[in-house]
Structure 1
Amino acid sequence: MKKRKLFEIPVYALDKESLRRRVDTKNSRFKKRLEKENVRNDDEIARKAFDVNNFPQRVWEYNHIIGYIVISLTTQDVWFEIYFPYQEIKRYCWNSKVKKSLINTYANGLHFHVSSDMSNEEIRDKTKQWLDTIVCNHLLRRYCVDSEAFIFINTSLDYRKLMKIV
């Protein structure tokens, strides 16, 4: 059974708004500390210190991905795989530069059979339903799943044609 990867949907530790609030709070504390030490904000040393202090948060999409949901196809099934760190993270350290290794969690029953009488629209709807169910049942509520690209592409995808190619 050959599986073809169709989507890799990133799972973030924080949504953009939560991360933005945390970064703003951290930045304001850092600026207050510089003011206490009588360092002007336009000073070159202050700018360099600020850059070093804010290093891991500059591009949120790439620094706070903690897992993926992979959607794959075979000739008769749609498969879902969940990739997360090999050790369960009790508390996410958002200000860290350390990246954890990701592995497949091998959760049971994460696929559905596509019967011959299912229309393409039914396959699309069922794939979306399954993704929503996986997000609700297998991920912590605080995690943010970026399914924007999946939703956009899923509306025009021809699953039947792709399954014949696999």
Structure 2
Amino acid sequence: MQEKALFEIPVYSMSEDIFNNRWKRKKDSLIQAFIDRDSTREYALKYLPVIIKGKDIWKYNEIIGYIKISVTRQDVKFRIYKPTKHLYRIDRVSRYVVREIPTNGLHFYAVNLTDDMIHQKIQEYLKLIEIKYLDKGLYVDYSVFQNIFETINIKQFMKSIS
């Protein structure tokens, strides 16, 4: 049966505020390391961007997985992709390997539901996913999802699938 992706919601290793606070502490520590080695603060501030090379940019750099919402003519399905690793470092140099994690029952039959009911059930499933399948402290970025979720007629979208 044909299946179409409706949403892919990014999962970050931490919120933007936490990320920025950690980088502030990290930068302060690096500046202090420069000063401890007989450099000036000005010298440290000049070369700090060379050392961190954009690692301090949260958006997209800290995505460690995502939640995919797909539909068929009958069902709404959820898939979760995240790394098997549970330690997330802000200054890492390698990427995390993201895999679909095994889940059971993350779908619902929607043929007899109204569009409003489908929207409500999707919200319920997303809350369940955060509680049951995502590690505490991970940040699910619903910003784009929330911008368009209520404007989409999911029931009509499902009917358009051949």
Are the counterparts in 2 of residues 70 and 82 from structure 1 also a CA contact under 8 Å? Answer: yes
Q: Give 1:31's aligned residue.
A: 31
Q: CA RMSD in A?
A: 1.7
Query: Deviation digits for residues 120-163 of structure 1, max 9, x if unmatched?
Result: 11111111111111111110111000012112211111011101
2:68 corresponds to = 70
1:14–1:144 CA contact under 8 A, matched in 2: yes
Q: Is the 8 A contact 1:34 1:46 kept in 2?
A: no
**Aligned-pair CA distance for 1:41:** 4.1
- Which AA in structure 2 matches 1:98? S
2:79 maps to 1:81: yes
TM-score relative to the length of structure 1? 0.88
Q: Residue in 1 aligned with 2:140? A: 145
* Counterpart position of 1:124: 119
Q: Secondary structure at the match of 1:112?
A: strand
Matched, 1:115 2:114: no
Counterpart selection for 1:60 from 42, 58, 66 = 58
| TM, length-normalised to structure 2 | 0.90
Q: Deviations over 1:92-142 (max 9, x none)?
A: 2221011122121131111011033x2211111111111111111110111
Corresponding residue SS for 2:70: strand
Query: Which amino acid is 2:88 matched to?
Result: Y
The one-letter code of the counterpart of 1:3 is E
- Find out whether 1:105 has 2:101 as its counterpart: yes
Q: Does 1:47 align with 2:28?
A: no
Task: Tell me which stretches of 4 or more aligned residues in structure 1 moved more than 6 Å.
Answer: none
Aligned-partner Cα distance in 2 for 1:52–1:109: 48
Partner in structure 2 of residue 21 of structure 1: 21
Corresponding residue SS for 1:62: coil
Aligned residues: 161
| Displacement after TM superposition at 1:56 (Å) | 5.2
What SS does the corresponding residue of 1:61 show, helix, strand or coil? coil
Measure the CA separation in 2 of the matches of 1:38 and 1:64: 34
Q: 1:92 aligns with which of 47, 67, 88?
A: 88
Aligned 8 A contact 1:11 1:68 in 2: yes
SS of equivalent residue, structure 1 residue 29: helix
5+ long unaligned stretches in structure 2: none
- Give me the whole-angstrom Cα distance separating, in 2, the residues matched to 1:8 and 1:91: 23
Match of 1:6, SS?
A: strand
